[in-house]
Chains A and B, each alone.
Chain A
């Protein structure tokens, strides 16, 4: 890879991995906990957020030289709210069942701190292409995070994956997993796994992995 390609890839992977919004930055927890009762909900929410992220960051970046800093938050929020509205209509057009399952959390993408955070910290300072690549990475990272929760919660809490029954009729689902407490359990387990893994890769003893500062 030449340096330009490498930079783009790096920009993308930042959100997917090193700065993963769910597992590393622990941002956007409201949808992360609330909609991940099934894999399909998780993917839909992730893709909706990804779309809003990429479009908003693209437009914020295009407007960056025209945006006085005094009005920037208003500008970002209007832009984000616009794309959320578009996604809202699009999901209604695709499937009402999905729309009902995601409920108010589609509209709440407006206040997802990942998006405003990206607009402020990255898109406002970079040209459109890198801004959108970076946003796409964050969106993919967020989707992966949601999916990691959704898959585990659906398998344990309903005995299905993408709606397909895995264990047959004899399986007694672990209902707590699709209730709110289950979201916290599964998220906690993933965070633990990630922290342990990150420490191990950094060559630190596992014992210190619990000492978050």
Chain B
């Protein structure tokens, strides 16, 4: 039906009272009962699923973290999780204890087979082309340098930004990237930074991938920010971590 009149006359819409059809109205009790029943059933299913998968999920997360650390510190055989607190102290984080105190910086101490410190690993975040780039980097106290990086999460463009995982020349930046502290241990001696492809001059600079400068910068910023926050607290306390506890 159309309310358009071809003659151009104004069409007056006629409002008719709704016909009195006897629509059966559901009793209030029935609605409440059904919603309550559904909530109870669904609640049981959700809690069951959560508890049923809890151990497997926790194990998966631990394995994923270990794998990420072992990748940047190949000699490592086991890891322990710590927090460098705002006051300068270092505290062990127990398994399943995920709450990080405010201002604390999380890091992993990695140990070799003999229980000796094989290096420190920490995560960093930098803004990439599409979204944050989260990386894990390995730190060697002997040389005060970054010795490897791995990507924890990113959404960079395949074929452009994701070259940071595979590009050999780029990864060569991280065989001994200088993150020395100033003499008073208050901050990094040099800001870690990605520079345009082919213009790297210092051991603390990262030679960016040509065409993926933005993602390369994100990696530089992630390492810089994380090292800047962690190392001044960590380095004075390194001897407390030398042996596996």
Contacts and interface: CB of A to CB of B under 8 A. Distances in A.
Interface of B: 26, 30-31, 33-35, 37-39, 41-42, 45-46, 48-50, 52-53, 56-57, 60-61, 64, 153, 157-160
Contacts of A92: 53, 56-57, 60
Given A70-B31, A75-B38, A92-B60, A86 B46 contact: yes
14 contacts: A68-B34, A71-B35, A75-B35, A75-B38, A78-B38, A85-B49, A85-B50, A89-B50, A89-B57, A93-B57, A96-B61, A100-B153, A158-B158, A179-B157
A150 to B, nearest CB: 14
Contacts of B158: 37, 157-158, 175, 178-179
Contact of A78 (B26, B42, B157): B42
Contacts of A173: 159
A96 B60 contact: yes
A125 interface: no
A82 B53 contact: no
Chain A, interface SS category: helix
B112 to A, nearest CB: 26
B34 A71 contact: yes
A79 interface: yes
Contacts of B48: 86
Contacts of A86: 45-46, 48-49
A85 B46 contact: yes
A68 B48 CA distance: 27
Contacts of B35: 71, 74-75
B42 A93 contact: no
Nearest to B152: A100
A67 interface: yes
Contact of A89 (B49, B159, B160): B49
Interface of A: 37, 59, 63, 66-71, 74-75, 78-79, 81-83, 85-86, 89-90, 92-97, 100, 157-158, 173, 175, 178-179
Nearest to B44: A82
Contacts of B37: 63, 66
Given A71-B34, A157-B158, A96 B64 contact: yes
Contacts of A63: 34, 37-38
Given A96-B60, A178-B158, A68 B153 contact: no
A75 B46 contact: no
Given A86-B49, A92-B53, A175-B158, A70 B42 contact: no
Nearest to A172: B159
A68 B30 contact: yes
A155 to B, nearest CB: 14
B38 A93 contact: no
Nearest to A72: B34
A67 to B, nearest CB: 5
Contacts of B45: 82-83, 86
